[in-house]
Copies of this chain bind each other. A is one copy, B any other.
């Protein structure tokens, strides 16, 4: 994969936010740096960055969000404000049970815990 100014800007945009941005948000931020960048370039590079392991894609309902945190982790999702909060719950104890009960080899566990965050209590 060849260097591109655009890809670096997209990567930097994601890595400098602590939210879990959508493609459109990333586009609107990156266009401030590269005024003629196109949305297609954003999508193409998000796919590249995912494949190279620089970012992770998370599906929030039916919209894709992107996460610079590539360490295994899960999310708390507040049903009131929609905020996603990173958490680490590295309990791999269920893997052997699933292998035994369902003859299913586990790669990863995608977990979203839905509830109410502290802003709404």
B-contacting residues of A (Cβ < 8 Å)? Answer: 59, 61-64, 76, 78-79, 85, 87, 89, 91, 94, 98, 101-118, 121
Q: How many copies does the complex hold?
A: 2
Nearest B residue (CB) for A107: B115
Q: Specify which chain B residues have a CB less than 8 angstroms from the CB of A109 in the assembled complex.
A: 111-114
Nearest B residue (CB) for A97: B89
Helix, strand, loop or mixed for chain A's interface? Answer: strand
Tell me whether A118 and B103 are in contact (CB under 8 A).
Answer: yes
Q: Specify which chain B residues have a CB less than 8 angstroms from the CB of A91 in the assembled complex.
A: 94
Q: Specify which chain B residues have a CB less than 8 angstroms from the CB of A59 in the assembled complex.
A: 59, 61-62
Known contacts A61-B59, A62-B64, A87-B98; is A104 also within 8 Å of B115 by CB?
yes
